[in-house]
Amino acid sequence: MAQGASDLIEGFLEMMSAERGAAANTIAAYRADLLDYLMFLAAGGISALDAGRRDTSAYLEELHLRGLSAATSARKLSTIRQFHRHLCVDGLRLDDPSRIIQSPKQQRSLPLVLTHQEVERLFASAEKELAEAKGKQKKRAAMRLYVMLEMLYATGMRVSEMISLPRTAAMRDAQYLTIKGKGGRERIVPLNKRARAALAVY
């Protein structure tokens, strides 16, 4: 890679460090991304100062052919965009070839769920711990864990919602719970008989 390209990268990294306070590992990631991008351009006889939208798009296609994930390609594109904006601000370019390029679409991963057998083993373990607990404090802790498992399983609430429930939630024989979720939004969820019975004992 030509010395001029290295100077462009270092100028960008100095700006990111001095003006935006980028951490050392962030700077290292930027450097690696830009070295890869500019080496791709250089292989085609193109510099960062005259690269066009097709060149940047071709680089993203190259990343896809390498088998890189959409998340990694999107991160690299973000680095390239910041780099080209820096070149424009410094007056080294009049346009940003990456401006209208769409970021690679990332597939949303499906949530991991327990199998029925795994749920059964989880409850069996909690029940065994409760049965074998010695002393008032340990029995109370084991019962608390068992109740929480029953309520989580019955309602599907988040753990953060569970631990923020008020004490009054466990002091009445209610068939429903009012849960405050993200953004302060409230919803009503039913409690099955097992969860209500566990709460009553607790």
The reported pTM is 0.53
Q: Which pLDDT does position 113 carry in this prediction?
A: 79
CA distances from 92 to 15, 40, 48, 109 (A): 15, 20, 10, 41
Given a contact cutoff of 8 angstroms between Cβ atoms, the answer to whether 73 and 64 are in contact is: yes
User: In which residue are the tokens 């009054």 written?
Assistant: 168
pLDDT category of residue 41 using cuts at 50, 70 and 90: very high
Q: What is the mean pLDDT of residues 44-67?
A: 93
Burial class of residue 38 (count of CB atoms within 10 Å of its CB; 0-12, 13-18, 19+): buried
Q: Hey, CA dihedral for 28, 30, 32, 38, is it positive or negative?
A: negative
Q: Which pLDDT does position 196 carry in this prediction?
A: 85
Q: Which pLDDT does position 172 carry in this prediction?
A: 62
Position 47 pLDDT exceeds 70 = yes
